[in-house]
Structure 1
Amino acid sequence: MPPMPPTPSSSEPASTTALPRLLVRVQRGLEELYRIATGVTVEDFVVDAASR
């Protein structure tokens, strides 16, 4: 699995795409760990601030 990107400091604004990318990497890691392929992307379940 590729290395994780650095965590932004509290003074830096968080990227709006950083969290979904991180969740995708976590999902892929779990699928690899448990040797499953769901075919579902976690991004389908992530709601941004504008959609709330």
Structure 2
Amino acid sequence: MELLKEGSKTFSELLNHFDISTGKLNYHLNQIKGFIRKDPKKNYNITHLGLKALEIL
């Protein structure tokens, strides 16, 4: 989520950044639903709730 504070990212950008398999990335993105969202252009963004969670951490 910290990475998404910088701005929206595509799935490919996230995949390249973390250097993990597509299955693992999909799994982890599904685990943090509500903290991130996918917009109509299929870019991932952090939500207001995600920003609040990062403040707590």
Alignment TM-score > 0.5, same fold = no
Q: Which has the higher contact order (CA 8 A, sep 6+)?
A: 2
Structure 2 length as normaliser, TM-score? 0.24
Structure 1 length as normaliser, TM-score? 0.25
Larger Rg: 1
